[in-house]
Amino acid sequence: MKKSICNTLIKNLAYQARFFYAIFFLFCFLISCTGANKKTKKDDITIVKIDGHKLTLKQFLTKSQSSPSRLFNYKYQKGITEFTKKRIIKQFLESYLLKKWAKKNNISIPSSKVLKYTKKLMSGYEGPISFKQSLYENNVSKKQLAAFIRAKLLREAWIKLHAGKISITKKEAKLFLKNKKEFLKPVKIATLRHILLKTETDAEIIHNFLTKNKIKFSDIYSLLPKFNPILSQKKIHVPYGSSNIFDPAFKMNIGEISPVTQSHWGWHIYQVLKLEKNKKSLSKSNSFIKSILVEKKIDSLYQGWIQKQLKNKTVLINKSILKQL
């Protein structure tokens, strides 16, 4: 009798416990769903809108944390600065306008062209592993890089189509030469091997390998993947006066290795391979002057086209949210 009463009590307690756990898990599930919905609603806030085409807060934040342009050695800044905000909005609008233009003119960028350009970009690195490491460090997915390259190739297609409209007169060339005499003078050029590292500690270790252990600079590249370098270049040409980092190279001897030097990019080490003056006077190079003027005119034409397209569109920018970022 006592056993049956105990068994009944145990069963009742078990049912109550099951009911309690079911209620508890249901409560947790509802909270998580509510949180997810709130997060989704916040992520779906529109930052920029053009012709119903939106850039959401989530997409904006993703773009701000990655920078494919850094792989092309363009200006790069960490954090959501005003420069970064403007860059993301500008790229979003230009990408949309170029896609619409390409569709209207039956122009497409096949995947084979994107792959070819990616391989060209990869050739500036030690190998596929170094390239993938750089993508990872810059928080750039393959999809983002492909989109960036496609937009770049579309811009080149637009320029190629409109380049025929550009012509340079002798008067324009003479005026440019008159205003840019200093620029067109022969310049000193240094040919360097260059490494850019994240930390001072890594840079000092590499520098010790090169100076104390007498490892050749050309052999050090095989060790670099262990140190996750930001950049490693086997040969770069640097004009005098272009950078405070590299200007000391013009007072160094051939083969000499620089001290570890800090910049806002990281920690630099370089070796001088060659020092020379550009013997050919650019003032006599008419084709060079024309190429500069053509490039300037094309860029002006392109920016004018972008502005003209935007005038005919309704562009909405959520300035209140941008201020909070």
Mean pLDDT across 277-301: 70
Give me the pLDDT at residue 191, please.
92
Structural domain spans, the chain: 1-43, 47-164+312-324, 187-279
Task: Tell me how far the alpha carbon of residue 143 is from its chain's centroid.
Answer: 13
Question: Which residues in 97-126 are b (16+ Cβ under 10 Å) and which e?
Answer: bbbebbeeeeeebeeeebeebeeebbebbb
Cα distance between the two ends of the chain? 71
Round the CA-based radius of gyration of the chain to a whole number and report it. Answer: 29
Query: Amino acid letter at 267?
Result: W
Number of DSSP helices (H) and strands (E) in the chain, helices first: 11, 7
Q: Are 295 and 276 in contact (CB under 8 A)?
A: no
> Tens digit of pLDDT for each residue in 221-237?
888 877 878 888 888 88
Confidence of residue 36 (pLDDT cuts 50, 70, 90): very low
CATH topology of domain 187-279: Chitinase A; domain 3 (3.10.50)
Q: Are 138 and 231 in contact (CB under 8 A)?
A: no
Q: Which two tokens stand for residue 132?
A: 């993938």
- Strand order, beta sheet including 267-277: 231-239, 188-197, 267-277, 261-262
Query: Amino acid letter at 7?
Result: N
> Tens digit of pLDDT for each residue in 177-222?
777 665 556 678 899 999 998 888 888 989 988 888 778 888 888 8
> Tens digit of pLDDT for each residue in 252-268?
999 999 999 988 788 99
Q: Which residues, including other chains, have CB under 8 Å from residue 296's CB and lie 6 or more apart?
A: none
Mean pLDDT across 146-164: 87
Q: Which residues, including other chains, have CB under 8 Å from residue 297's CB and lie 6 or more apart?
A: 166, 168
Whole-model pTM: value is 0.54
